[in-house]
Amino acid sequence: MDNLWSPWRSEYIERHAAEHGSHRSDEPEHCFLCKAVSAETFSINNLVVAKTGHTVVILNKFPYNAGHLLIAPFSHVAELHMLNSGEYTDLMDVLRQSCSILNSVLKPHGFNIGANIGVDAGAGVPAHLHIHVVPRWRGDTNFMPTLAEIKVVSESLTTTWQQFSQAFSSLRQQ
């Protein structure tokens, strides 16, 4: 088996830790997910596209692909077992709805869905559980990250935010 290396990701994590302190996100007042939860409006500034009773959906500010979503419970907890059944059910329902919206809006060929739980699993924000949903298309990998340390994302965050905000809003009105 061959390995695919992504050194730009490590550089981002190390830079973020150096700038913000490696454990500042352990405290809710420094957690960008908690700030998204407490946001009173949805805007491109906070990247929030939807909220439900227990869950927030935001665009990833540093996406792997266009439409890369982060889905997080309101509760500042680190692991799935720390959620009560209502929070867990809402999180999973929002995950399912998000995939449906991504299919409708962006028409990807597949998804990478995952949660990095714990620092050793690669969690950039280990204290606040969140699920990544990354839409994928045939041929969406290329040579740019290897040669130029650049990830090509084919759509602006503003355009993606507008599309998702409308789609989630339509879903809420049903």
Distance (Å, whole) CA 68 – CA 58: 9
Distance (Å, whole) CA 48 – CA 153: 19
Annotated catalytic residues are 130
Distance (Å, whole) CA 52 – CA 69: 15
List, in order, residues 6 or more apart from 100 with CB less than 8 Å away. none
List, in order, residues 6 or more apart from 68 with CB less than 8 Å away. 59, 60, 132, 133, 134, 135
List, in order, residues 6 or more apart from 121 with CB less than 8 Å away. none
Distance (Å, whole) CA 135 – CA 115: 15
